[in-house]
Amino acid sequence: MTESFNTLKQKALTELQGVDSAEALESWRVAWLGKKSELTAVLRGLGTLPVEERKAVGAQANVVREELEAALEARESELANAQMSMAGDIDITLPGRPWLAGRLHPVTRIVNEISDIFSSLGFSIVEGPEVELDRYNFDALNIPKEHPARDTMQTFWVDDGAPKEARHTLLRTHTSPMQVRFMEKYKEPPFRIVVPGRVYRYEATDASHLPMFNQVEGLMVDKDVSFADLKGTLYEFARRFFGPNRKVRFRCDFFPFVEPGVEMAIECASCRGAGCRVCGNSGWLEILGAGMVHPNVLKGVGIDPEIYTGFAFGIGVERLPMLRYGVDDIRLFYSNDLRFLRQF
Ligand code: 2U9
């Protein structure tokens, strides 16, 4: 009996080696392990055997059945793997790939950090459209047509169907249009908002300029808001962002939407004030402009400048991570080089 089990097993296993498809595998299973197989016939016939023989034969038959089942399973996965390799889907010999953990872009993190600081000072965060009307981007901000300030903000005009000279649609050059929209909508001060977002300027690219960059602009309007509030707020921002030891400088500047206007600069991190390529040899990096909101801007949205005053500021966001991490070329942020981005 042992002999014939061995023969059966050998025959079945040899045949299994030749099986090369799912259908052939199923036929093999039916032939060698199915209801009408030799092995099943032996197991069924056990009852006719004398008791002593029944036990031994039954045990042997079960061992063979288990061996054949295991061989079937092994062949099945061999065939599945071979099929996948042939299709070129997968190389099962390669080690698994580790999952890459995503993270926020360094500029996004800085935008969030700035927003959080102003949020903790009582400002609400507001966002607005990147495609704007020139009425909001220029006219409402005290920059009428032919005003020279329009030259400093060369613009990407959007084809809105009008002839080229009569277009009114553009990619916003700053986020200020949203402050105008906000005041127009909510009418009655007090307002304290910051508007983060992308802005666009049609200008040549270099180590400190890109045609797209991020701003966080802020606006506070209320009764009795003074220049001291402006300075106090922006000093506090600089202190929280850069720490208490970084030097800060305020100087007079001009922006059509504020009067008076100032520029706030921070000591250059790359050269510590000595002068280098990043800061154009001045030792200082201008990080924001600010000023008291121009009475014309308030009047334009129906707010009486005799009753209310306000201050506003604009931060060029990319400069801040450049300062903090000593990055000397703004283009690195947007070249999709993971070797650079993974450092943050
Ligand atoms: C309203 C009124 C006034 C926002 C301001 C600046 C000064 C400024 C620059 C900083 C670097 C632009 O990104 S940058 O190149 N911004 O200098 N921005 S005051 O003034 C406003 C805004 C909205 C209604």
Q: Verify that 59 and 137 share a domain, yes or no.
A: no
What CATH code is carried by the domain that includes residue 337? 3.30.930.10
**Rounded to 5 degrees, what are φ and ψ at 170?**
-155, 165
Residue stretches of the annotated binding site for Mg(2+): 259
Q: Verify that 21 and 113 share a domain, yes or no.
A: no
CB of 292 sitting under 6 A from ligand 1: no
Q: Which two tokens stand for residue 109?
A: 């993190």
Residue minimizing CA distance to atom 11 of ligand 1 = 316
Centre of ligand 1 to C-alpha 330, Å, is 20
Which of 208, 250, 258 has the most ligand 1 atoms within 8 A of CB, as the residue to mutate? 258
Q: Verify that 189 and 286 share a domain, yes or no.
A: yes
Centre of ligand 1 to C-alpha 313, Å, is 5
C-alpha to C-alpha distance for 223 and 305, rounded to whole angstroms: 9
Q: Is residue 239 part of a domain?
A: yes
Q: Is residue 237 part of a domain?
A: yes
CB of 316 sitting under 6 A from ligand 1: yes
Q: Verify that 324 and 214 share a domain, yes or no.
A: yes
Centre of ligand 1 to C-alpha 219, Å, is 9
Region of residue 238 (phi > 0: left; psi between -120 and 50: alpha; otherwise: beta): alpha
Nearest atom of ligand 1 to the alpha carbon of 217: 4
Predicted local distance difference test score (pLDDT) of residue 164: 84
Question: Is the CA virtual torsion 16, 21, 22, 27 positive or negative?
Answer: negative
Q: Verify that 58 and 132 share a domain, yes or no.
A: no
Nearest atom of ligand 1 to the alpha carbon of 213: 13
Q: Cβ distance 186 to 175 under 8 Å?
A: no
Q: Cβ distance 197 to 147 under 8 Å?
A: no
Predicted local distance difference test score (pLDDT) of residue 295: 98
Predicted local distance difference test score (pLDDT) of residue 253: 96
Domain that holds residue 13: 2-87
Predicted local distance difference test score (pLDDT) of residue 293: 98
C-alpha to C-alpha distance for 238 and 235, rounded to whole angstroms: 5
Q: Is residue 289 part of a domain?
A: yes
Predicted local distance difference test score (pLDDT) of residue 153: 61
CB of 140 sitting under 6 A from ligand 1: no
Residue stretches of the annotated binding site: 259
> What pLDDT tens digit does each residue of the chain (344 aa) get?
566 888 888 998 899 888 888 888 899 999 998 889 888 888 888 888 888 888 888 888 888 899 989 988 988 888 888 777 666 667 778 888 888 888 999 999 999 999 999 999 999 999 999 999 999 999 999 998 888 777 656 789 999 999 988 899 999 999 999 999 999 999 999 999 999 999 999 889 999 899 999 999 999 999 999 999 999 999 999 989 988 877 889 999 999 999 999 999 988 777 888 988 777 899 888 889 999 999 999 999 999 999 999 999 999 999 899 888 888 899 999 999 999 999 99
Q: Is 61 helix (H, G, I), strand (E, B) or coil?
A: helix
Q: Is residue 98 part of a domain?
A: no
Residue minimizing CA distance to atom 1 of ligand 1 = 176
C-alpha to C-alpha distance for 88 and 121, rounded to whole angstroms: 58
Predicted local distance difference test score (pLDDT) of residue 259: 97
- How many of the other CB atoms lie within 10 Å of CB of 78? 12
Predicted local distance difference test score (pLDDT) of residue 123: 98
Centre of ligand 1 to C-alpha 239, Å, is 20
Predicted local distance difference test score (pLDDT) of residue 85: 67
Q: Cβ distance 304 to 297 under 8 Å?
A: no
Q: How many domains does the chain have?
A: 2
- How many of the other CB atoms lie within 10 Å of CB of 17? 9
Q: Is residue 102 part of a domain?
A: no
Residue minimizing CA distance to atom 12 of ligand 1 = 314
- Does pTM top 0.85 for this prediction? no
Q: Verify that 226 and 280 share a domain, yes or no.
A: yes
Q: Is residue 101 part of a domain?
A: no
Pairing of strands 191-200, 169-171: unpaired
CB of 219 sitting under 6 A from ligand 1: yes
Centre of ligand 1 to C-alpha 326, Å, is 24
Q: Verify that 174 and 35 share a domain, yes or no.
A: no
Predicted local distance difference test score (pLDDT) of residue 191: 97
Centre of ligand 1 to C-alpha 331, Å, is 22
Using CA atoms in the order 117, 119, 124, 128, what is the torsion angle rounded to 10 degrees? 40
3-state helix, strand, coil in the chain (%, to 5): 45, 20, 35
Centre of ligand 1 to C-alpha 201, Å, is 14
CB of 175 sitting under 6 A from ligand 1: no
Of 297, 123, 311, whose CA–CA distance to 227 is shortest? Answer: 311
Q: Verify that 236 and 123 share a domain, yes or no.
A: yes
